[in-house]
Structure 1
Amino acid sequence: MLRHTRSLVALATLCMIGATYASKGPTPPGPHEGERTEAGALAADDHWLRAEVDGDTAFLERMLLPGYRSIGATGVSHSREQIIAGAVKNKDSDAMKEKVAAWRKEDPTEIAVLQHGDIAIVSFYNPALGPDKGVRSSDILVYEDGGWHAVYSQHAAAKSQ
């Protein structure tokens, strides 16, 4: 199941948020989400994760641009359609929420955001190794039509220590 989602990015993002996932409907946007700022990019990326966990496919269809690809640590590509299909499976299940909660306890992750105009790179890294040696994944976002949208994600097999 995790291989059909942005598994590492999704799990890494949850390390930074203390939200609980009780809803089964559309996930609400976070503060700053529509802003063309680093905080806005981070809020949109967080909403993306919550949408995958909650099965909010309407949000994912807006967030993930046509042609979006997520490249896993093994080099395997997952399409926008595969990500959305994975979210559909999560909609009426707590299995993903439980996997995410377990991962959060085992693998702390920190987030760095670099914005240049309408482009933002949201990177997730091992705090023990830092943002220069422990990057686990990155999302490339573009700001258009009043919001951040995902273009591409890359995942790595960063060491734990």
Structure 2
Amino acid sequence: MRKQRLFQVGMACLAVLVLAAEMTVAATAAASAADVDETGRNEAAVIAVDQHWLEAELDGDTAWLDNLLLPEYRSVGADGAVHTKAAIVAHAAKNRGNDAQRRKVEAWLKAHPSGQSVVIHGDTAILSFYDPAKGAASDVRSSDVFVYVGGHWHALYSQHSAAAKD
């Protein structure tokens, strides 16, 4: 039973790391993302919000995360483990004043370059991360679902696939 719990905790940490790493993919566009209006109802705004999300997690900006993540937010790992808003915010708090997680994310990103695609329909946006060598149509590593509420994009759901583990 203890091994199973350790495995679950390890998978939860891996899911959070993969989520953070995938969001860092936007770092290549970070300079331009900083100039993007995050309240816009367009692809650039969704990508900018996602990049801000990553920075907030890595910097431990729990106030920003608390505002971004809707109360019902869930992240589902490739193993099916569910991570709540509270778990994501608590994990981010541990990063405050510590760059260990940032170094891990940067190393993962260097080894796993990702492309991004955004689909917006009404007040809903889906941001998907994929292996650029395989393309968005055949290799989705993860997707984040955003809802436009009160003039801002908010995260509602994230799903990770086994493709994220290569």
The answer to whether TM tops 0.5 is yes
Q: Tell me if 1:141 matches 2:141.
A: no
User: Structure 1 18/131 Cα, relative in aligned 2: closer, same or farther at 3 Å?
Assistant: closer
2:65 matches 1:55:
no
Which has the larger Rg? 2
The equivalences for 1:61-76 within 5 A come to 61-76=66-81
Between stretches 35-44 and 11-20, larger displacement belongs to 11-20
Q: Does 1:151 align with 2:161?
A: no
* TM-score, L = length of structure 1: 0.87
Q: RMSD of the TM alignment (CA)? A: 2.3
Structure 1 unaligned spans of 5+: 21-28
Change in Cα spacing, 1:99 to 1:76, as seen in structure 2 (3 Å) is same
User: How many pairs does the alignment contain?
Assistant: 154
Q: Give the Cα separation in 1 of the matches to 2:159 and 2:138.
A: 15
Identity, % of aligned positions = 46
**CA shift in 2, pair 1:19/1:54, >3 Å:** farther
4+ runs deviating over 4 angstroms: none
CA distance in 2, matches of 1:107, 1:131: 15
Whole-angstrom CA distance in 2 between matches of 1:108 and 1:149: 25
Counterpart of 1:11 in structure 2 is: 21
- Structure 2, unaligned stretches of length 5 or more? 1-9
Pick which of 151-160 and 33-42 moved more.
Answer: 151-160
2:112 aligned residue: 107
